[in-house]
Amino acid sequence: MSIDISQFHETFLEEACEHLRDFETGLLDAETTGEADLDSIFRAAHSIKGGAGTFGFDEIANFTHVVESVLQNARDGILTLNEKVVTELLRSIDVISELIQAAKESRDPNIQIRDEVYESLSAFMGGNIKSEDKPTQENKPKNEGFSLFNVDFIPDPHMAQTGNDTLNIIRELQEIATVKITCRIDNVPLLHEMNEHEIYLSWLLELETSSPQELLEEAFMFVEDDSTITFTKIANVDIEKVENDLAEDKAEKSKKPTGVKQNKPAHAAKAETAFIRVAVDKVDALINMVGELVTNNAMLELQVKKSIDIEENQKMLSAIDHMNSHTRNLQESIMAIRMMPLEFAFSRFPRMVRDTAQKLNKKINFITNDGQTELDRTVIEKISDPLNHLIRNAIDHGIESPEDRLAAGKVEEGRIELVAFYRGGNVVIDIIDDGKGLDSEAIFKKAVDKGLVDANAHLTESDIFKFIFHNGFSTAQAVTDVSGRGVGMDVVAKNIKALNGSIEISSEKGQGTKFSISLPLTLAIVDGMATKVGDQTYIIPLLNIVESIKPQKDKIKTVNDNVEVLFIRGEYIPLLRLKKSFTTESNKGLTSITEGIAIIVEVESVKVALFVDELLGQLQVVIKNLEDNYKPVEGLSGATILGDGTVALIVDLQGLVNMSQRLNKFKLKEIGKHHFYGENHEVQTHETESLIPSSQQLQESETL
């Protein structure tokens, strides 16, 4: 019975992507530092080629073989990794990446540059190497002849079940050595004792090669943990003496083997800390089950405390406390499985910085910290695009040209830093450049021209900088294919808000700019304020809450018969009643504004007051997806189960605002854009779509 190796395809393709990242990182490090770890770079390409050949991905294997050959020339000193060679090797990574993606999606690859890159790489091989790429006589490697090796290869019986094939290993060796094969049948059992899924043969391989032992060992890299492999070097042979000395050297040195590689010694420690691949849906299911366990534990505790005499049952209560502690620790441990180092996001940017800087004729020193700060994988996936845009923006708008930097007394090479660190319960990501900084005067003037602010308004520099997040806002003098159209920064802010995060800007003209992004560690758990409206509990994300107040009757105005606003410290804030936003069957909830609580939240730089009956307190809850368990509900991002078994709804503030604007026909964003206050706290309005009232309108309106 044959083994279906297609079950290993997904794992190989994922591993190939990881090898590609190592390949790219190695090339960029080589170009930046001038010191290339050619063995590591070659090993990454070789792993992709070997795996692709094993699993039948011939297009990937054939193309990567050319890449591998170029890298081998570099290892042999025949080819120098100059900028031209590195550029073509980086382009080859794009080709391989598309081949891998096409294999994942079972489609034909769409790569226009494949043939062009293939020809360029072929030109770096053999006699087609350009004159400027050829090594000088001084640094050309000396031919040291060849070596003879014996390789004792004993596969574990189950090796074939991992998708590996001995014939592929031998073919790999035959590309770099002359191989004499002896098949041994010592371990073959009687026919009726055989297991069709197991291997019983072993091999003695005699190799004659000019390649180093390390390259020979790489042919066995996929089976190192599933076999016993022993290398014995028989001889180093000078070509001029080969005919006279070969027989004598082989007979004498075979008695004293050296350089022996035992079964899995180098990988014993690695195996203890090795990773296992687990499907994301399995992890999510585990997190959901642990969330249910936490909830059930809380419900059990509540019911026990209601039904027993606390004084007489201290041991039981102590056991429950221990169970609570262990359950919480279990939940935190399970949540940690979803955490990934930011390196997975950071690793894509050095290549982008290099290519963008070359396109704009700028010199950039791109610096990142180790990227080991961890975030939920979902957050990492969604933050990559905003980071990409901010870094591209820093290259295009922030860093000056080399000529302008020298004229300003700076070094011609600009610096961009991407660093991440923990702050409290959040992760902060800073994007810092030493470019020309933001011009607050130019930004303010542009905002006035676009009708976003009154020319006499008094704003802090921080508030002025936030205008760059408005759709279509740009102070660029020219539009490039990198940026300058004002498209993107608004999406950056929106995406960060969608992650329950925030972004702040600090800048000094002529010195540089820093964008600071603060993100929650995970989207699976939310810190919120539990509130009550009638019989229903709502969770409001704590990150968005500015303050909560007890409204006074004379501070509430009604405009246009349906828009309520709350006057707080010289500012009118739209008031949304959750009772009206989410109508229930009983439609219970307070009506009198003075009896409830107004929670001031900030959404997309706009403040909104949410009216609720009462505050229940802060808590941390596990989010349950409404789409998976019920159906999407506008204004709600999910639900959770509280300790008493009741369901609490988690408010999606942006969705709630959008829904209220549509139903009540007023625009909070227009309020935020066009409504500012002078020193006398009188309302200043403009001829826009904003329905925020003027002072006269407020005085004429009916007070609740």
Active site residues: 46, 68, 393
- Per the rule left: phi > 0, alpha: psi between -120 and 50, beta: everything else, 66 is alpha
Residue that the structure tokens 């319960």 belong to: 425
DSSP 111-174: -TTHHHHHHHHHHTSGGG--GGGSPPTTTSPP---EEEEEEEEEE-TTGGGGT--HHHHHHHHH
Do 219 and 251 form a contact (C-beta atoms < 8 A)? Answer: no
Cβ within 8 Å of residue 473, ≥6 positions away? 446, 447, 450, 452, 467, 486, 489, 490
What H or E segment, with its residue span, contains residue 565? Answer: strand 563-568
What H or E segment, with its residue span, contains residue 673? Answer: helix 668-674
Residue that the structure tokens 């279906």 belong to: 4
DSSP assignment, residue 344? H
Do 391 and 431 form a contact (C-beta atoms < 8 A)? Answer: yes
Q: What are the CB-based long-range contacts (under 8 Å, 24+) for 287-293?
A: 287/334, 287/335, 287/337, 287/338, 287/524, 287/622, 288/624, 290/327, 290/330, 290/331, 290/334, 291/331, 291/622, 291/624, 292/641, 293/327, 293/330, 293/331
Report the SS3 class of residue 313.
coil
Do 340 and 377 form a contact (C-beta atoms < 8 A)? Answer: yes
Do 621 and 528 form a contact (C-beta atoms < 8 A)? Answer: yes
According to DSSP, the β-strands at 571-577 and 606-612 are parallel
Amino acid at 300: L
Query: What is the Cα–Cα distance from 612 to 590, expressed in whole angstroms?
Result: 8
For 268, other C-beta atoms within 10 Å of its C-beta total 11
* CA 259 from centre of chain: 42
Query: What is the Cα–Cα distance from 94 to 120, expressed in whole angstroms?
Result: 14
The angle at the Cα of 485, spanning 482 to 488, to the nearest 5 degrees, equals 75
User: From the CA atom positions of the chain, what is the Rg in Å?
Assistant: 33
* CA 624 from centre of chain: 23
Do 92 and 121 form a contact (C-beta atoms < 8 A)? Answer: yes
For 7, other C-beta atoms within 10 Å of its C-beta total 9
